[in-house]
């Protein structure tokens, strides 16, 4: 994890999405970019005054080793409880590209339920919100959460719904995250 700004030259055309709108773009080879956040396997970069999110698989364009989706290890029998524990851990690796705090600590995840499908096979159902209803990154963050949940042993299905009730507020941020953000 890194919060330190770092200037790089983009080594190849690199797919990205605009922040906060979530529109796909290509950052061109040779552009100067400032990495503002490197968390959860993604990069937030500033290029010509605009923020973009770059997936870890394209980290090589920024001078880093590309990262692939992580398959989570688990010892012992796969149970509803072990899947739920891993699900919360996995959700804590998802970040809003503008805020260096994970979605669990931000209070964006309202529920995480594990539904048995058969012996040692499960569906994970998550309800989460965003800091602002109009955030274009919402589906991107929800898709990232779903994809990461599918990497948990025993999880065959994952559903992540964006909900707006109750509305998110700063009081939902964990105390350590508030301290990190300078809100205490």
- Residues 168 and 130: beta-carbon distance below 8 Å: yes
Q: What percent of the chain has a predicted confidence (pLDDT) above 70?
A: 96
Whether the CA torsion 38, 52, 59, 36 is positive or negative: it is negative
- Walk along the chain (184 residues) and give the pLDDT tens digit of each residue: 445 789 999 999 999 999 988 899 999 999 999 999 998 889 999 999 999 999 999 999 999 998 876 666 777 789 999 999 999 999 999 998 888 899 999 999 999 999 999 988 999 999 999 998 888 888 899 999 999 999 999 999 999 999 999 999 999 999 999 998 888 7
DSSP for 90-147 reads HHTT-B-TTSSSBTTTTT-EEEEEEEEEETTEEEEEEEE--SSTT-TTHHHHHHHHHH
Q: For residues 8 and 152, what is the distance between their CA atoms, to the nearest angstrom? A: 34
CATH class for the domain made up of 80-181: alpha beta
Q: For residues 155 and 176, what is the distance between their CA atoms, to the nearest angstrom? A: 30
- Residues 178 and 184: beta-carbon distance below 8 Å: yes
In the chain, domain spans: 6-62, 80-181
Give the CA count within 13 Å in the CB-facing half-sphere of 8.
21
**Measured over all CA atoms, what is the biggest interatomic distance in the chain, rounded to whole angstroms?**
52
CB atoms within 10 A of CB 20: 19
Q: Which fold has domain 6-62?
A: SH3 type barrels. (2.30.30)
β partners of residue 6: 35
pLDDT digits (tens, 9 = 90+) for 111-156: 999 999 998 899 999 999 999 888 888 889 999 999 999 999 999 9
């Amino acid at each position: 994890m890194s919060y330190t700004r770092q200037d790089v030259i983009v080594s190849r055309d690199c797919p990205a999405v605009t922040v906060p709108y979530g529109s796909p773009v290509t950052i061109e080879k040779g552009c100067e970019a400032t990495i503002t956040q490197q968390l959860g396997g993604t990069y937030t970069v500033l290029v010509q005054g605009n923020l973009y999110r770059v997936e870890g698989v394209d980290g090589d364009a920024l001078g880093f080793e590309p990262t692939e989706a992580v398959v989570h290890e688990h010892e012992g029998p796969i149970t509803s409880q072990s899947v739920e524990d891993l699900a919360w851990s996995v959700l804590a690796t998802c970040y809003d590209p503008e805020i260096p705090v994970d979605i669990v600590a931000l209070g964006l995840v309202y529920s995480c339920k594990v539904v048995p499908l058969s012996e040692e096979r499960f569906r994970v159902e998550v309800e989460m919100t965003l800091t602002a209803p109009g955030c274009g990154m919402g589906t991107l963050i929800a898709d990232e959460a779903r994809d990461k949940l599918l990497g948990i042993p025993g999880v065959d299905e994952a559903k992540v719904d964006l909900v707006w009730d109750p509305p998110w507020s700063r009081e939902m941020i964990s105390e350590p995250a508030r301290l990190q953000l300078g809100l205490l």
